[in-house]
Amino acid sequence: MPTATWRCDRENMADEYFDSASGEQPLVGVIISGNSKVGKRRAFIGFDLTRDPDIGARPEPGAQLAAADLLLDITILDGLTAWPGRVERITRLDWAGYPNASWLGYKPATYWTTPGGDVDPALAVAFTSPAALGPYQTGGLLPLAQDAYAARGGLLLIRLMSPEAEAGSFTAHFGTAFGAANDARPRLQLTYAAAATIDVRDPAAITGSRPAGASAASDATGLGRPGRPAHPARPTRS
């Protein structure tokens, strides 16, 4: 099945210690948890799926999403590996990214409701942290990608979160847009199923639902798209 890949458009790392205690803006691209010595750290990554992909071609009309994967290039591992984590949807669509977002705020002079980021707990995907350096891929982001197309104007904004209650210290550094090669930035890879009947940018293509009154027959002709009425039948000649 065809794939298309987007490099991230914005990102930042929220660091409880630096942002709350010293006011400094830390480096981006770090996930850390379970280490009370430096406080909690969370990674924020954003993708604009309305623009053309960086790798591969924009899917043709009729394509449907089949899978979504997050790709990272791991540069440092410290302490425990293969710890559980979550990918969560950021609820603030105007989150500004580095260097204008932090543990306390999602843009200058504007604060998160909850320090460390506002997310939708109902839309989260579990992942296991990297166990080795180099390329890392975690799947299961299809619900997040579907939601981005259907309800967020094509913006997929996510937070990588590790369990705060986990004992021990573990850190994973990955390539970022700042201080890393362009190809090493976090990436989102979407896989499309061919021969779908409605456009991938239509909500029905993402959710799998039909608009009220649309039939399977109308979908089969591509006429069941939201906002596109079916053509009237042509009169027959006598």
Whole-model pTM: value is: 0.74
Pair 26, 46 in one domain: yes
On whether the CB atoms of residues 74 and 134 are closer than 8 A, the answer is: yes
pLDDT tens, residue order, the chain (238 aa): 889 999 998 888 777 766 654 444 445 556 655 444 556 778 899 999 999 999 998 877 778 999 999 999 888 777 777 788 889 999 999 998 877 888 888 998 899 999 889 999 888 999 888 888 889 999 999 999 999 999 999 999 999 887 654 545 667 777 665 555 567 788 999 999 865 434 455 544 444 444 444 443 333 323 233 344 444 455 555 4
Pair 128, 220 in one domain: no
Pair 219, 112 in one domain: no
Token pair in block for residue 153: 């104007």
Check residue 25 and give its pLDDT.
47
Phi, psi of 184 (to 5 degrees): -90, -5
Pair 210, 138 in one domain: no
Domain that holds residue 212: 202-227
> What gap in Å lies between CA 175 and CA 222, rounded to an integer?
41
Pair 189, 219 in one domain: no
Query: Is there a domain that residue 154 lies in?
Result: yes
Query: Is there a domain that residue 61 lies in?
Result: yes
Q: Bridge-partner residues for 89, per DSSP?
A: 120, 158
> What gap in Å lies between CA 192 and CA 176, rounded to an integer?
26
Question: Domain count of the chain?
Answer: 2
Query: Is there a domain that residue 102 lies in?
Result: yes
Check residue 151 and give its pLDDT.
94
Pair 114, 217 in one domain: no
